[in-house]
Amino acid sequence: MNWLCVVAGAMIGAPLRFLTDRAVQARHDTVFPWGTLAVNVAGSLVLGVLTGATVAGAATSHTQLFLGTGLCGALTTYSTFSYETLRLSEDGARFYAAVNVVSSVVAALGAVFAGVALAEAVWA
């Protein structure tokens, strides 16, 4: 049963990542990977809320597997973030590569902390 929760979440998260990335990137005429940043920050926010809900006892293990491992595991993408940063650097856009690293880490950490705080406010 556990693996079904992961698979079901991934079946939603993977196409959601693709569609979100394409939609966000289509709105920006730049080499900066806005789509990847958007999905990684959104996934971090969801994981933060899920973490807060779990600590409060409001999320079951199946919910954690479905949302955390399945959906967010397929939605967020460290490998694409790494690849895009490398490509920016190799293509001479080192400033954008550095901005991508700093903004991704700061925004994702901020999102996970905000998610935990939101969950604590709801379930505390």
- Residue range 80-106: mean pLDDT, rounded: 98
H helix runs in the chain, sequence order:
2-26, 34-55, 61-63, 72-75, 78-90, 94-123
Query: Is residue 65 a contact partner of residue 6, using CB atoms and an 8 Å limit?
Result: yes
The confidence score (pLDDT) of residue 96 equals: 98
For tokens 């971090």, the residue is 44
Query: Residues forming the annotated binding site?
Result: 73, 76
Query: Is residue 13 a contact partner of residue 72, using CB atoms and an 8 Å limit?
Result: yes
Query: Residues forming the annotated binding site for Na(+)?
Result: 73, 76
Q: Does residue 124 register a pLDDT over 90?
A: no
With cut-offs at 50, 70 and 90, classify the pLDDT of residue 98.
very high
Query: What's the CA gap between 82 and 56, in Å, rounded?
Result: 34
